[in-house]
Amino acid sequence: MMTFLTRYIRKSVIELTLGGTIMEIKIVKDVDHKLLNRKELDFTVEYEGPTPSRADVRKKLAALLNKDVNLILVQKMESEYGHQLVKGYAKVYESEERMKQIEAEHILLRNTMPEEPVVEEEPAEEATEDAAEEAEAEPAEADAAEEAAE
């Protein structure tokens, strides 16, 4: 028989400002699964402004729990109509290897942090050089065609 340790936390855990959004995260339920090497959290987020993204909530939970962001998976986030409130469910793993063994691939993809777009300027410079060479070649071809026609 498996036993689960459950703690209920009824106090406000953290209030954070993120890009104009003020969030207050409350952990409603904390279940420790020793066999799976993870904790499962039910939480609520009260916010002002736009609805916080999954990545923002992951970052703030990581800061709150002193864990790496890559070890936290936000499984579900549901906002309530007419309220500035999100109810969610997250899993906090002890190791990344164990997380990859247990979790479905689409959940892992959903929780990957968005990468910053890398802007490469070299192809743009090459394109302008090619355009300049073509512009120089076109008048020379037009002059040669006119001379051949005469």
Q: What angle do CA 68, 86, 11 make, to 5 degrees?
A: 70
Does residue 81 register a pLDDT over 80? yes
Residue 21's closest CA among 64, 69, 57? Answer: 57
pLDDT of residue 80: 83
> Where does the pLDDT of residue 128 fall: very low under 50, low under 70, confident under 90, or very high at 90 and above?
low
**Chain-wide mean pLDDT for the chain?**
77
Collapsed DSSP state (helix, strand, coil) of residue 36: coil
Rounded to two decimals, the pTM is 0.62
Q: How many residues does the chain have?
A: 150
pLDDT of residue 9: 45
Query: How does pLDDT run across 9-56, given as a tens digit for each residue?
Result: 444 444 455 455 688 999 999 999 999 999 999 999 999 888 898 999
Between 69 and 17, the more confident residue is: 69
Q: Which two tokens stand for residue 69?
A: 């962001």
Choice among 16-20, 68-72, 96-100, 137-141 with the minimum mean pLDDT: 16-20
pLDDT of residue 21: 67
**Domains along the chain with CATH numbers:** 5-110 (3.30.70.330)
Does residue 84 register a pLDDT over 80? yes
Q: Rounded to whole angstroms, how far apart are CA atoms 78 and 83?
A: 11
Residues 6+ apart with CB under 8 A from 109: none
pLDDT of residue 11: 41
Q: Rounded to whole angstroms, how far apart are CA atoms 132 and 113?
A: 40
Is 87 within 8 Å of 80 (Cβ atoms)? yes
